[in-house]
Amino acid sequence: MAGTRALLRHCPLLLPQDCHGTAYEGFVTAQGRDFHIRILLPVDLQLKNARIECSWRLKKILHGYQHILKQRLHNCPDLVSFMVELKTVLEIALKNTQDLHIPRSPEYYSCLVKDLEILGWNKVAYVDTGLTTVKLKAEDSRGRQHLITFKLNAKYPTEPPDCLVDFPVPFAVSWMPQNSLIDIYNQFLAALELLKEFWDALDEIDGKTWVLEPENPTRSATTRRIAIGNNVSVTVEVDPRHPNMLPECYFLGADHEVNPLRTKLNNNMHLWDPEISLLQNLRELLEIDFPSRAVLEKSDFAKECGICYAYRLDGSAPDQVCDDPRCGQPFHYTCLYEWLQGLPTSRQSFNIIFGECPYCNK
């Protein structure tokens, strides 16, 4: 109920269409204008698998912002947070759409070209034909490639451009009337270095373990679901500002497999050493060595879902496992939920549904 009240506070014209909270329809408001929108969530309410339908007018306005909205869907913890992000992006898009019809002054073009010449044309990854959108590339001290997108309004350089980056934290621009793109670019470089250790930690995980989710992580993604073996995995949530501290850990798998891991984590928590890498700490606390993708692909870890017979469903691997040690069959959350809902013998208590395993009937 608290989530519904918060949603009504931010988007009073967006209303739930069912009792499960999987469908919402109505209007999102920005700059005094209402835009029709419909949001469909899967039964597990995972935003990353949501489907958004909207009017052609809203679709046209948000045309250049789809990748940003996809990132927000993957990273926002709930629908309320996503709607706040959507309204912010919509405000920026509307502002830039209106700016397209405002004639640019000669000073606008001369300042922009001068800034790009000082920065160096080799740093320019993209410029649109109207000279209103500029993408610049940069390399951090570890050799990773990054992009920053500038959306310039007609009042530039009097007003700062809107800046879009693939960061796990907000990128706050410090701007004075005498500043230019060069100043923002230098702030961007400084921000890259502050996030260096965060990306180091996740790059090591990506390179030395089998990451089940996300399949193609963006630089803003803070979670990794790492395979351990025997249909057991752990999801780690890394704090971008403190990447060397103990992350939030969520184990997935049969109870008889994950309970010993939870016990080891709790018992060894005091051994966490911020001077060594996050992955090495996890190895020592859990007393395991994470197998590589090559090793696991040769094992039976990548079992298909016992209901839909597919490994990936909407990009997600099976994440529910039968607790019986003699079975251990994995299932997608969505498949298992729908299966159990259809059984007359199943029972539900609040948000937990109880029923028999489709494979072994336990």
Judge if 60 and 3 occupy the same domain: yes
Gap between the Cα atoms of 350 and 362, Å rounded: 22
Judge if 82 and 143 occupy the same domain: no
Judge if 182 and 234 occupy the same domain: no
Q: Is residue 201 part of a domain?
A: no
Judge if 259 and 323 occupy the same domain: no
Q: Which pTM value belongs to this model? A: 0.65
Query: What CA–CA distances, in Å, run from 9 to 12, 75, 209, 351?
Result: 6, 21, 42, 25
Partners of 14 in beta bridges: 26
Q: Is residue 204 part of a domain?
A: no
Gap between the Cα atoms of 334 and 329, Å rounded: 15
**From the centroid of its chain, how far is CA 176?**
32
Q: Residue 94: which CATH number?
A: 3.10.110
53 φ/ψ angles, rounded to the nearest 5 degrees: -115, 140
Q: Is residue 278 part of a domain?
A: yes
Q: Is residue 202 part of a domain?
A: no
Question: pLDDT tens, position by position, for the chain (362 residues)?
Answer: 445 677 777 788 888 888 778 888 888 888 888 888 999 888 878 888 888 888 888 888 888 788 888 888 888 878 888 888 888 888 888 877 766 556 778 888 888 999 999 999 999 999 988 888 899 999 999 999 999 999 888 788 888 888 999 999 999 889 888 888 999 999 999 999 999 999 999 999 999 998 888 878 899 999 998 988 777 889 999 999 999 999 999 898 888 888 999 999 999 999 999 999 999 999 999 999 998 776 655 454 557 788 887 777 776 778 788 877 777 788 888 888 888 888 888 888 777 888 888 878 78
Do 297 and 311 touch, CB atoms closer than 8 A?
no
Domain count, the chain: 4
pLDDT at 101: 59
pLDDT at 240: 94
pLDDT at 192: 96
Q: Is residue 38 part of a domain?
A: yes
Look-up: residue for tokens 């920005």?
30
Q: Is residue 203 part of a domain?
A: no
The 3-class SS string of 304-343 reads CCCCCCCCCECCECCCEECCCCCCCCEECHHHHHHHHHCC
Judge if 10 and 96 occupy the same domain: yes
Domain that includes residue 142, residue range: 106-195
Gap between the Cα atoms of 328 and 310, Å rounded: 16
Among residues 56, 82, 100, the one where a domain terminates is 100
Q: Residue 341: which CATH number?
A: 3.30.40.10
Q: Is residue 227 part of a domain?
A: yes
Do 209 and 226 touch, CB atoms closer than 8 A?
yes
Gap between the Cα atoms of 196 and 218, Å rounded: 15
pLDDT at 117: 94
Q: Is residue 257 part of a domain?
A: yes
Q: Residue 179: which CATH number?
A: 3.10.110.10
